[in-house]
Chains A and B, each alone.
Chain A
Amino acid sequence: MRNTDGQLYTIEGFAAGLIMLMTAYLVVNATSVYTAGDTHISDMQLEALGSDALTMMGTPTNTTMYLSNTSPLRMIIENPGPVPNATFRAMFLNLTNSRAGLPMDYNRTNSTMDYIQFTANYTCRIDPGTEIASNTFSYSRNLTGGEHTVKATKWMIINKGAVPVCGTTNQDRAVLVEVLLWRD
């Protein structure tokens, strides 16, 4: 007995073969995303950490500071010491590097611990005009250019006679504090 049932099986086989080829293409294609999704996540965490640290440093820590509308960060910028500024460095490293179970070790005797390093500058506008000037005031290590850095920023309003590169006008001025930080 002869009929055309076999043709249907052939057509099904061809269609299934095509779909399998398409499937293989999709799977191979999926591996060709060069940057995996989670490589950015550590950047995001580092940026959030830096931002939080700067926000904490820009918050008054006692009633006297609160009443005079100042903060540790503002006092550091208004009273610049030798570069790198030791107060900023100690505070920032303490805020970013402290974690449970490991003691702070600024002298890096414990080489197995990973550290977050930073370099910080502030930028202000030269009044009058639209020129700007930046001043690096603190760092924990020199930036060589090979580091994978993220940036955290904080606006500050300062009021102080002479601040390096900002001029000497004795009035309220807004400056932008920028910190580049990276894992080491």
Chain B
Amino acid sequence: MGFLVSFSFFFLAIVINQSTVVGQTTAESVIEFPKNDIRDVRQVIGQAVNVPNLNIVRDDITVLSMNRKSSVVYYSSVTSGTFRYIQIHYNNGVTEYNENWSYR
């Protein structure tokens, strides 16, 4: 009987032990995931492929991403027929994001 009671206490203690860690790791992984960065860089790339001075704006985005956000960003855009293809690469050392984006 004592054996069963002590086992049940043991399992309850494991639940207590893990609960705080679960909360912390969840919050940390949500903070670390650069959702806003990716969203924002996608939006500006959507505008940046339409400017006349493509290379200068791409240098702006690449250099500023590296210096201010510690992330590697590169994109390219190809027009083929009536379609336009945009490739986006994003990597901040923890999260990597690649996207192929095409529209007419």
Chain A residues near B (Cβ < 8 Å): 12-13, 15-17, 19-20, 22-24, 26-27, 29-30, 33, 35-38, 40-41, 43-44, 47-48, 51, 55, 69, 123-125, 127, 130, 132, 152-157, 171-176, 178
**Residue numbers in A under 8 Å from B14 (CB-CB):** 26
Contact with A along B49-90 (1 / 0, CB 8 A): 001110011011101100111000000000000000000000
CB contact list, B22-45 vs A, under 8 A = 22-24, 26-28, 30-31, 36-37, 40-41, 43-44
> Is B94's beta carbon under 8 Å from chain A?
no
B40-A40 in contact (CB<8A): no
**CB neighbours of A33 from chain B (8 A):** 20-21, 24
A24 to chain B, nearest CB (A): 8
Bound Cα distance A149, B21 (Å): 24
Residue pair B63, A153 in contact (C-beta under 8 Å): no
CB-CB under 8 A from A55, the residues of chain B are: 40
Q: How large is the interface on B (under 10, 10 to 19, 20 to 34, 35 or more residues)?
A: 35 or more
B103 within 8 A of A: no
Inter-chain contact A125/B59, CB cutoff 8 Å: yes
Min CB–CB distance B30 → chain A (angstroms): 6
A36 contacts which chain B residues (CB < 8 A)? Answer: 20, 23-24
The residue in chain B whose Cβ has the minimal distance to the Cβ of A121 is B68
Q: A36-B24, A152-B36, A153-B40 are in contact. Are A132 and B68 (CB under 8 A)?
A: yes
- Give the residue of B3, B37, B69 whose beta carbon is less than 8 angstroms from that of A15: B3
Are A51 and B16 within 8 A (Cβ)? no
A44 and B43 contact, CB distance less than 8 A:
no
Interchain CB contact under 8 A, B59 and A29? no
Whether A44 contacts B7 by the Cβ 8 Å rule is no
CA gap between A55 and B2 in the complex, in Å:
61
Are A23 and B57 in touch, CB under 8 angstroms?
Answer: no
A123 touching B68 by the CB < 8 A rule? yes
17 intermolecular pairs with C-beta atoms under 8 Å apart: A12-B3, A17-B6, A22-B10, A22-B13, A23-B9, A33-B21, A37-B20, A44-B27, A123-B64, A123-B67, A124-B60, A124-B64, A125-B60, A155-B41, A157-B47, A174-B48, A174-B57
Complex interface: chain A residues within 8 A of B56 (CB):
127, 171-173
Contacts of B52 in A (CB 8 A): 171-172
B3 contacts A127, C-beta separation under 8 Å = no
Measured between beta carbons, the chain B residues less than 8 angstroms from A174 are 44, 48, 57, 60-61, 64
Q: Give the Cβ gap from B34 to chain A, nearest Cβ, in Å.
A: 10
B23: which A residues are within 8 A, CB to CB? 36-38
* Cα separation A132 to B69 with both chains bound (whole Å): 13
Task: Report B-chain residues with C-beta under 8 Å of the C-beta of A176.
Answer: 64, 68-69
